[in-house]
Amino acid sequence: MIHTRMEKLAQKIEEQLHAIDQKSIDQFVESLINTKRIFIVGAGRSGLVAKAFGMRLMHLGFTVYIVGEVITPAINKDDLLIVVSGSGQTLSAVVAATIAKEKGVKIVGITSNPDSDIGKLSDVVVQIKGRRPEDAKRDYEARQLTGNHEPLTPLGTLFELSAMVFLDSIIDELMLKYRKSEDELRKLHADLE
């Protein structure tokens, strides 16, 4: 039963990833390459995905800050803010994006909802469809009719897993672009653990 669930989940993630617009991917990668400092924000599980991406960027040699950490400096117009939010409405992320926008910072929003506050504030929107609230209601009704009462991907799971795979693929692309080996990344890996 678990193997069947894993296969269904992997299939859903694959469907989500194939739906991402290539132009937005190219703009995202270009934004990463053309900035000196990167700030990343997300909350909850999306925040964990954001932090994992930030860590990998640091391993590649980028200057990265996670919004909310005590060592994060002020952001300025030459920086890049990456916002990871499935709903695009998470208050802390919207506040961070609003402040960055007021300072003229370029913003990349990674969200399921390009019409959200995050989507509207972003210069580049990478849409990872995930499972929207209206889909959850429709899925619930369909599951009731078919006798399948548990969702495969509750809450934001589909967005978060898809975002993690997408962002790790960006890291792989950057490794190739900068000709970085895993050994080079390992040199920047934390050693005070």
Averages of pLDDT over each 10 residues, the chain, 193 residues: 82 88 97 96 94 95 95 96 94 96 97 95 94 51 52 69 95 87 74 68
190 lies in a domain? no
Write the CATH number for 44.
Answer: 3.40.50.10490
SS3 state of residue 117: helix
71 lies in a domain? yes
191 lies in a domain? no
- What pTM was estimated for this model as a whole? 0.86
Count of domains observed in the chain = 1
169 lies in a domain? yes
192 lies in a domain? no
24 lies in a domain? yes
Q: Could you say which of 160, 173, 182, 184 is catalytic? A: 160
Residue 170's domain spans which residues? 2-185
193 lies in a domain? no
Q: What is the dihedral of CA 10, 14, 17, 18, to 10 degrees?
A: 180
- Dump the DSSP string for 135-171: HHHHHHHHHHHHT--S-SS-TTHHHHHHHHHHHHHHH
Instruction: List pLDDT tens digits, range 112-168.
Output: 999 999 999 999 999 998 755 555 455 545 544 565 545 555 556 889 999 999 999
Tell me which residue has tokens 């913003």.
107
89 vs 98: CA distance, rounded Å:
12
Assess whether 150 carries a catalytic annotation.
Answer: no
159 lies in a domain? yes
